Amino acid sequence: MKHIAILTGGPSAERGISLKSAGLVEDFLNRKKYTSRTILVDSDGWYEKESRTRVDLNDFSLQIGGKKETFDFVFLIIHGTPAEDGKLQGYFEYLGIPHSTCKTLSAALTFNKQMCKNLLRAFDIPLAPSILIRPEDGIDEPAILSLGLPVFVKPNNNGSSYGISKVSQREDLSSAIEKAFEYDNEVIIEAFLEGREFGCGVVKEGGQLHAFPITEIIPEAEFFTYEAKYEGASQEITPAEVSEVLSLQCQALSKKLYTVLSCRGMVRFDFILVGEQFYLLEANTIPGLSPASIIPQQAQAYGWSIEHLLDVVIEDCICDV
């Protein structure tokens, strides 16, 4: 049996979601194939959840009951930094321990929204126009207004819709930018696209990419806020009620993105549909796995159990080290 570490917690604002996602992994791991320990990443160290035994970070091991435990695989379920930005991937890759997510470069690239967009333009991926600002840049209002109003103001390196504002009046720009800077030292300002929001999960199994049935996300608020993503303040329709042509277009674009970005494990791509064209909003390389999350809904609509989904991710990532 393979011994799995479920790594959760972390210092980001998304810690609570990470803990919920880890709970789902704990509940649905195939216990005929895997044993596991849940490891909490806290500000004062890394601990085994039940015993509070401190992890030896020199080799990512535990001493429990007088015996040393090592791990065959890490299910990395920390949202935001230091996982979605590639820091922990680098650590485990240095130690030679397989993990469940994209490798270091891909994770860091997809977490940086503007840098990811800069790369994807070379592959003709439809994207909303945007500009990046840093604190030392000041606010170039004419450049921002050239995108048109409204605009979205977002932390450039963050997830789960923290710090995002939709700005419809120029006098609100300054406060929205200030809010985004609370979460990151870079802010991306993106043109507003009017349309319907969708998500599509992709998983690799051996040489085959599986694009799940797409989900339409209908937020109660003006856009896909944190509350909409994680607290039920949205209607999610899986499979989405769109034509087969549009559904296949979204799935094909998601598979292309998975390949272009050298993804691994399960990844969710979020889009906005304008007319009959899907525009990428963002790539989520460690998507939520809480009971309210989209990937579990899509996997089940695809005919997979959550247990099978976790099996596929673990086995594929172990083979692709």
In terms of Cα–Cα distance, which of 94, 28, 22, 37 is closest to 312? Answer: 28
Place of tokens 């609370």: 182
What three-state secondary structure class fits 271? Answer: strand
DSSP at 179: H
Pair 64, 54: CB distance under 8 Å: no
**HSE (side-chain half, CA atoms, 13 Å) at 320:** 19
Residues designated as active site: 14, 160, 230, 268, 270, 282, 284, 288
Q: Alpha helix locations (H) across the chain? A: 15-28, 87-95, 104-111, 113-120, 141-145, 173-181, 226-230, 244-260, 294-301, 306-319
Q: Count CB-CB contacts under 10 A for residue 321.
A: 13
